[in-house]
Amino acid sequence: MRRVFILLVVAGFGVIFAGLVAGYGERQTLSALATFYLTEVPADLGAANVVTGILISFRGFDTLGEVAVLFMVAASVGVILASEPGDKPLLLPAIGGKGQGPSELVRNGAEVVLPLIFLFGTYVIMNGHLSAGGGFQGGAVVASGVMLMMLAYPTGPLHHGFLSITEALAGVFYVSIGILGMVLGGGFLDSHILPRGDFGTLISAGAIPLISILLGIKVGAELSVIIDRFRS
């Protein structure tokens, strides 16, 4: 009886998706909204990367909401996995028995790769308005670097409190810039509060790089806190 029901549900989904697939046709021209974005983002905001321009300026409030969701996740993970202060962090080698330290390969590899990962993450954050990427993506890259650091040095110098404070400060500055946009510019998170600068240079596109950097710091710290919670 139950199986028949499940089969019926799956078949129903199949019918819905078959309709979607059959009716799909690739657009040959841009929609009106896409045309607006493609002309307006470089001209009005001065950002060469249209995606980041949209994410941080036109939909900046959305991005703030995303970061807030991430913060909620970090907080609830902390509540669920709250550990005693005396607990030692789990020594987790990539492969191997419990309680062993990280393997030679992980430790030496991390020494070579870690600076490159952090450099790449910073590059992605700083050049968010010029090339692919932006605060969110760069923050995720930095967090994956932190993850490798935690794997290679389980008793490493990374403090939970430091991450939390960094994250909180970045969030406060993010919202402050948003409010500054309301006071000086045209609305919450308006990027026109700083001069637009020369198109395509590192310091340009108004407040977009600044917001991108804060976003990157916040996302990186948040994801690192989540991983740190799982570790302890």
133 forms part of the interface with other proteins (CB under 8 A) = yes
Residue 17 found at the interface with other proteins (CB under 8 A): no
Shortest Å distance, C-beta 98 to other proteins: 8
Find the angle CA(118)-CA(160)-CA(149) to the nearest 5 degrees.
35
Please tell me whether residue 205 binds other proteins under the rule CB under 8 A: no
Q: Which stretch binds other proteins (CB under 8 A): 16-24, 44-52, 57-65, 204-212?
A: 44-52
Residues 152-171 binding other proteins (CB under 8 A) are none
Closest by alpha carbon to 229, among 19, 103, 48, 83?
83
Residues 6+ positions from 106 with CB-CB distance below 8 Å: 93, 94, 151, 152
- Per CB under 8 A, the segment of 35-43, 49-57, 165-173, 199-207 that binds other proteins is 49-57
Position 147 contacts other proteins (CB under 8 A): yes
Using CA atoms in the order 11, 13, 15, 21, what is the torsion angle rounded to 10 degrees? -140
CB of 63 to other proteins, least distance (A): 12
- In whole angstroms, the minimum distance from the beta carbon of 142 to other proteins comes to 9
Q: What is the end-to-end Cα distance of the chain in Å, rounded? A: 45
Tokens of 48: 């060469």
Question: CB count, 10 Å around CB of 5?
Answer: 9
Q: Which of residues 62-121 bind other proteins (CB under 8 A)?
A: 90, 92, 98
With binding defined as CB under 8 A, does residue 10 bind other proteins?
A: no
Backbone Cα Rg of the chain:
22
Minimum CB–partner distance for residue 100 and other proteins (Å): 12
How far apart CA 230 and CA 123 sit, in angstroms, is 28
Applying CB under 8 A, the residues found at the interface with other proteins are 49, 51-52, 90, 92, 98, 124, 132-134, 136-137, 140-141, 143-144, 147, 151, 223, 226-227, 230-231
